[in-house]
Structure 1
């Protein structure tokens, strides 16, 4: 603690890991299972199947998360949404611990870096996933979407990243390493000056994004000066970021 009562900033850099479809493969089809549950939730609002699909996609596109649209335009309890959607996912049946992934986290040099998770899910879901993957003890901090907070932010909004840095007590964005399966999220972080951004993309696999199924594809615009490094296996981080591994 500094003389003025503020926390002294840790000199180490931070590695931020997204959770869903990053720490586990999109082949688990968790996004598909989640999409079905969100669609069913929209139907409970009295919408028919087509209306539910369109409103789901519209809210996701406009607000980054369908739930944000629901809380703005419908009288719903966000925690009810969380219990019925994220809370009913059979995660224990869909994902398992990966010793190789755990070893990757263990090999991060903790004298140089801190390791945090950065997710658009609520903390309950994030904690469930980290526990199943046997990574709880490898994550120092968790930044999540606080569904109970009115007007909560999410990736890729700048305020979300600013809040993440505030929570982690780091002021220099260039000291942030970040990997996420959403290119939009990674680009947003890079625009804010996050120094080492990587897009995780399992090209060819399908996910449900905003209620719509899409096939994952790599960005082939190699002439873009703002191009972001892309990987299909987290093990590639050892090569991209050798300076933070032991």
Structure 2
């Protein structure tokens, strides 16, 4: 599912940005807070601690999202899940805009590339994060998991990527430039022929920049989001130092 204007043909590249743990640091531990809420949701359904842990891991591994397993096997209300899990995260007190990330996205030459977000979250969470980070005005559209559809797809499934391309009006997979912190998601895009699939493996602030090891199935590995300037140098506006 998507929001934004993605109709018609366009010959420019499309930069696909993952949102969670990519546009903000993993050190915020939002993923941990989310995991705690999902665990609590399993417990609220009457599962024991052991079963909750087991099913959470099983559904995430098998379906890409624990929610999909819950929908397939327990007929839960996805909107209720979203409110109690993603919707209850205290994002406003944790996240803050990063001027370097904003400047990096601003410097993408819009004559050469469009910018979309590609997320396994629902639209409300995606928009909330982009608004807090003050990046919403730089993104043409967001392709997200449509929790209203009981059979929705997600990364790293081919249907998700194919539908994202269709909505964004992309017919040439080589025009897609993608960055994500999840190796399976990046490998899936690469296997589909996306032009550049980059793994973001966050490097802690203060660490010296060093060469990243080669990872099979991806085009590049970066430790800072701003390193996309080097990986995709042809789509960035030249700026004076």
TM-score (norm 2): 0.90
- Which residue is equivalent to 2:79? 79
- Which residue is equivalent to 1:46? 46
SS where residue 114 of structure 2 aligns? strand
Q: CA deviation at 1:8?
A: 3.4
- Which residue is equivalent to 1:57? 57
Aligned CA distance change for structure 1 residues 227 and 169 (closer, same or farther; 3 Å): closer
Whole-angstrom distance in 1 between the partners of 2:184 and 2:203: 16
- Which residue is equivalent to 2:160? 160
1:197-238: CA deviations, max 9, x gaps?
100012589xxxxxxxxxxxx984x384x4431011011011
- Which residue is equivalent to 1:237? 228
Work out the number of aligned pairs and report it.
226
- Which residue is equivalent to 2:3? none
Aligned CA distance change for structure 1 residues 204 and 136 (closer, same or farther; 3 Å): closer
Work out whether residues 203 and 224 of structure 2, in 8 Å CA contact, stay in contact via their aligned partners in 1. no
Whole-angstrom distance in 2 between the partners of 1:192 and 1:223: 17
The structure 1 segments of at least 4 consecutive aligned residues displaced by more than 4 Å after TM superposition are none
1:28 is the counterpart of 2:19: no
Whole-angstrom distance in 1 between the partners of 2:94 and 2:127: 15
Aligned CA distance change for structure 1 residues 137 and 151 (closer, same or farther; 3 Å): same
1:154-179: CA deviations, max 9, x gaps?
00000000000001011000000000
Work out whether residues 13 and 175 of structure 2, in 8 Å CA contact, stay in contact via their aligned partners in 1. yes
Correspondence list, 1:1-246, <5 A: 8-202=8-202, 220=213, 222=214, 224=216, 226-246=217-237
Work out whether residues 118 and 142 of structure 2, in 8 Å CA contact, stay in contact via their aligned partners in 1. yes
Work out whether residues 190 and 218 of structure 2, in 8 Å CA contact, stay in contact via their aligned partners in 1. no
Q: CA RMSD in A?
A: 1.7
